[in-house]
Structure 1
Amino acid sequence: MVEATALFRNAAGIDTAISILKQRFGDRLQTGASVREQHGHTTTWIENQSPDAVVFPNSTEEVSDIVKTCAAHKVPVIPFGTGTSLEGHVNAPAGGVCIDLGQMNRVLAVNEGDLDCVVQPGVTREDLNTHLRDKGLFFPIDPGANASLGGMAATRASGTNAVRYGTMKDNVLSLEAVMPDGKIIRTGHRAKKSSAGYDLTRLLIGAEGTLGIITELTLKLHGIPEAITSARCSFPTVDAACQAVMTTIQFGVPVARIELLDAMSVKAANAYSGLKLPETPLLLLEFHGSAAGAAEQAETFGEIAEDFGGTGFVATASTEERSKLWQARHDMYWASLQLRPGARGISTDVCVPISRLAECVTKAQDKAAELDLLAPVVGHVGDGNFHTLVLIDMDDADEVARASQFVGWLNDLAISMDGTCTGEHGIGQGKKPYLVRELGDATRYMAAIKAALDPDNIMNPGKIV
C-alpha cells in the first residue's frame, strides 16, 4: 500500500494563520472534523490526511489574501475543486489550509466569434456545456466525472474525446493564477498562439497546485457537430480490438472517441446499465461531422473491424441510443464495483504508444489473473491510455499487498514500453516513485523549478516532487 512521505508540521504557524483567516472570513472558514475529512478525501487507497481548516473564497483577491497569510507563517495551502482526483492530490500530509474553489463558479465571458470563453476554476465541465449549448458551442474535455475546470487544468485532465480534441493542455489559452507569494499573475491573453517568453500556462497545467493556484481560465471552444454517430462492435480478443483501433488511427479516420471495455467490464455494464451486449471485448466509438461524413466514418470503421473478427457492429445517430451507451461507459466505476460487492475499487492508469497497447493490456490481464486479482479494464484506447480497477478487500493484508505489487508492476511495464505511468490521473502522492523511474534526472529540474517558485514548500506539499 502506498504511503505519503512525512513532512514537517508547523503547528504554531498553522494556528496563527487560521486565527487570522477566521477573523477575515468568518463562517467561510470551517474547522469541523467532517468538513476537514471531506476535503482530505481521496478515491485511492492512500490514507485520508485532512487539512486543519477549509476556507471558501469568492474571488481571486481573496485567494491571494489567503496565500499571503499562509506564506507569512509558512503554512501549507492545498487547492480543492470537486475532489474527484485519484492519486491523493487533495491530501494535506503536513496539515495546513485547504482552499475550496467551489464558490468561484461563474462563466465570466463567452466570445462566440473567437471560439473561446473565460471561466472561474469552480465551474464544472457539465455546467459550462449547459451554459454553452444554446450558443451552438461546447468544451470537449470529458474525464468522466463532473470535475471542476480548475482541477482539470491542475491535473492536465484528458478523457474520452482526447483522441480528436486533445487534452486539457491543448485547450487552455491562458490562465490567471495566485503564486506562492500571493501575487496574482496572468500567463497570456486570448490570442490563439504566442511566442512571448516562457510558456507559463503549460507549466501550471499539470502542476497539481504545487506551483500556484489557478483562479481563472481562458478556454478554447468548438462548434457542436452537425451530426454525431455512435457505434459499437464486439471482438474475440482484446488484441483484435486493439489492432482494429490502431488500424483506424493509421487510416486517418477522424474518430472522436474510441473506448475499450474488456469482457469483465462488459459483463458489469450489462448488469448495471441493463444492456444485452456479448460479453467479449467491446469498442465504443463516436464520429463527429456532417450527417454524411459521420456515417461514412462509421462505415469505414465497420469494414476495418470486420478484418479483425469484429461482430455485431451497430452504428446509430439516435440521441437516445447514443446517450444510453455513453452513460453506461461513464458508469463503469459503479458497475465494476458490483462485480464484487463490498470491495474497494482502486483505479490506476497507464499510457503506451498505440503500437504496444494490445500487448500491454493483455499482459496486465494475465498479471492480474496470476495474482488472483479481479481487475476489469477500460480505456481511452485511441491514444493508448487504459485503466484497471482493482477490486480488493482492504481488510485482507495479503490481497492489498498483491494489489500494490500489481500497480507497481503495471507502471513499470508501461515505462518499459516507452510509455508513462499516468496518462491522465496525474502523480499526486501515489505515483511519485514511478515518476522518478520514468523521467530520471529530469525530476531534479522539476524540483529546482518548485524550489525556485516556492522556496518554503507551502503549495500543495508532498505531491509530484
Structure 2
Amino acid sequence: MNVLLPKAHLLPEFNPRAVPAALLEALAIRFGAQFSKALVVREQHGRDESAFTVPPPAAVVFAQSTQDVSDVVQLAARYKVPVIAFGVGSSLEGHLLAVQGGICIDVSRMAQVLAIDADDLTVTVQPGVTRKQLNEAVKATGLFFPIDPGADASIGGMAATRASGTNAVRYGTMRDNVLALEVVTASGEVIRTGTRAKKSSAGYDLTRLMVGSEGTLGIMTEITVKLYPLPEAVMAATCSFSSLADAVNTTMLIIQLGVPIARCELLDANTVRMVNAHSHLNLPENAMLLMEFHGSPAAVQEQVAIVQDLAADQGGQAFEWASTPEARTRLWTARHNAYFAGIQSRPGCRAITTDTCVPISKLAEAMLDSVLEAEQSALPYFLVGHVGDGNFHMGYLIDPHQPQERELAETLNQQLVRRALALGGTCTGEHGVGLHKMDFLVEETGLGAVAMMRAIKLALDPQNILNPGKIFSM
C-alpha cells in the first residue's frame, strides 16, 4: 500500500460546544425521568457500529412524542447547543457521534404504528418503530415493507440515512418508499412534507430533501412509507462458484437481461467460511450467490429456470433451494449476520466497513480489484454485496490497539472508493456519509455541489445545531 491517509481521517476532530448548566437544568425540569446525565447512558448513546471513538454527549433525553422532540430542540436552540437524534445505534459511518458535544434525543420510545391504510398501500409510523416491528404490525393485511438493510434498524434511522439493503434491486431504497414526513426543524417548529398520494408536483420536494440528510436538516417524528402485497410465491436459492469473477458475471447477466429477481446477494469464499462458523451452516465454502424470487408460482419458476441456465453457463454449481419460510429465514438470517460473523472470526477486533455502488457493467472491475488489494495486504476482511444493484461492502478487521492496521484499512478503503468514483459510481450506496466519507463526498460531487448543500444547511439550520460535523464541514 503506497499512500497513508492523514491522521484526520483516522480519528474525527472533537470540538465540543459548552453545554450551559442552565440548559441541563431546564431539560431535567421539563423531562424528569426521561432525562439522564448518567455516564453509562451517555456512553451507550455516544457510539454506533463504526470504529470511531468520541466522547459521549452531555445528556440524553428519551423523547416520547413530537412535542418532546420540539421542546428539546427549542431549548437547545436557545443556547446554541447541538442535538443528535438516536434510534437503535446501528449506523456504520459515525453518524451518531457527538463530535461537537450536545444533547442526544433518543426516539426509540416513539414506537407507535399510527395508521395502516391497507387500501392505499401505506403506513404511518413514529421514528422508533423498527423494520421487524413494522412488518409484524402489517402482516395481517397481507402487505409488507420491503426495505431490509440487515440490522433491525429504526424506520427513522433508515429514512435519515436513505437506507436500502437486500430487496433494493426490486423494490428500491428508502428514497423511493417514503411518501410523507413530520419533521421538527432547527427552531423546534413542526412541519409536514408530502402526502399519501403516489405523486405530487407541488413545490420543492422537501420529503426527498430530508430523506438521506442524516439528521442535519431536521428530526423526523412521523414517517409515511409504501407497503407492497406479499408475493404469492417466494423461493430462495444459493449457488456456488469456483471463482468470485464467475459469481459477479452471473449477477451482471441476470440484471442486464431484465430478470425481475427480488434479491441477489454475493458472499466471497472468505465470508462464507465466517458465516458457516457463526451460524452453524454447511454452505460450500466458495463464492456464493444468495437469491430470492417473488411472484406468481409460474413467474417464479420461469425466473428460476433463466437464472439456473445463466449460472450454469458461468460455472455455477450446487444449487440449493429453500422454499419454506423457515429455510429462507435461516439463510437470510445467516446473511444478515455476516458482519457479526466477521467480528467473531477475530476476537477483540473492530471492523472498518465501507460500501460503494457502481454501474452494473463496472461491478466486476470494482469488486475484483478491491479484493486483490485486500488479499495482498494480508489484513483479514469480509465481502458481501447487494450486487443486484451494483452495491457491495468490504469490512476490514483490525486490532484497535495496532494503529498501523487502522491506517492500512483506511488506505484500502480510500483506494476502493476512488476506484468506484473513477468508474462512475458513488462513495456510498447506502451507509451514508457521516464522518467517514466527508472528503469523498467532495471528490464525488465537486466543491460547487457541496457549497450548495452547505447553503441549504445554513438556511435551514443557521446555528448549526442539528447533528453538526456530519456529511461536510461548515
Q: TM-score range by the shorter chain?
A: over 0.9
1:326 deviates by 0.9
Moved more, 221-230 or 57-66: 57-66
Distance 2:16 2:281 in 1: 51
Report the TM-score when normalising by structure 1: 0.98
1:342 deviates by 2.5
Residue-pair matches, total? 463
**Is it true that 1:151 corresponds to 2:157 in the alignment?**
yes
Report the TM-score when normalising by structure 2: 0.96
Which segments of 5 or more consecutive residues in structure 1 lack a partner in the other structure?
Answer: none
1:262 is aligned to 268
Moved more, 454-463 or 36-45: 36-45
1:346 deviates by 2.1
The one of 384, 396, 399 aligned to 2:390: 384
**Is it true that 1:355 corresponds to 2:361 in the alignment?**
yes
Distance 1:29 1:224 in 2: 41
Moved more, 315-324 or 188-197: 315-324
1:5 deviates by 3.5
1:331 deviates by 1.1
1:370 deviates by 2.0
1:5 is aligned to 13
Distance 1:272 1:91 in 2: 29
1:337 deviates by 2.2
**Is it true that 1:324 corresponds to 2:330 in the alignment?**
yes
1:8 deviates by 5.3
SS in 2 for 1:378: strand
Amino acid at match of 2:72: I
2:450 is aligned to 443
2:64 is aligned to 58
RMSD: 1.1
Identity of aligned residues (%): 53
Distance 1:36 1:354 in 2: 42
Amino acid at match of 1:423: G
**Is it true that 1:409 corresponds to 2:411 in the alignment?**
no
Amino acid at match of 2:129: V
2:188 is aligned to 182
1:171/1:220 contact within 8 Å kept:
yes
2:6 is aligned to none
- 1:210-289 map, 5 Å: 210-289=216-295
Moved more, 291-300 or 191-200: 291-300
Amino acid at match of 1:123: V
Distance 1:69 1:184 in 2: 15
2:158/2:174 contact within 8 Å kept:
yes
1:6 deviates by 4.1
1:162 deviates by 0.3
1:452 is aligned to 459
2:197 is aligned to 191
SS in 2 for 1:298: helix
Distance 2:69 2:295 in 1: 42
SS in 2 for 1:370: helix
2:16/2:101 contact within 8 Å kept:
no
2:385/2:393 contact within 8 Å kept:
yes
- 1:419-434 map, 5 Å: 419-434=425-440
1:164 is aligned to 170
1:125/1:139 contact within 8 Å kept:
yes
1:295 deviates by 2.0
1:298/1:315 contact within 8 Å kept:
no
SS in 2 for 1:253: coil
SS in 1 for 2:364: helix
SS in 2 for 1:192: coil
Amino acid at match of 2:450: T
1:77 is aligned to 83
2:19/2:58 contact within 8 Å kept:
no
1:4/1:462 contact within 8 Å kept:
no
1:42 deviates by 2.2
Distance 2:382 2:16 in 1: 39
Q: Deviations over 1:380-418 (max 9, x none)?
A: 000011111111111112212111111111111111111
The one of 39, 43, 48 aligned to 1:37: 43
SS in 2 for 1:259: strand
1:180 deviates by 0.4
**Is it true that 1:98 corresponds to 2:92 in the alignment?**
no
Distance 2:194 2:168 in 1: 24
1:372 deviates by 1.9
Moved over 3 A (4+): 5-8
1:207 is aligned to 213
2:16/2:102 contact within 8 Å kept:
no
SS in 2 for 1:314: strand
Amino acid at match of 1:5: E
1:348/1:389 contact within 8 Å kept:
yes
Distance 1:170 1:233 in 2: 30
1:308 is aligned to 314
Distance 1:431 1:228 in 2: 37
Q: Deviations over 1:232-271 (max 9, x none)?
A: 1111211111111111111111100000000101111222
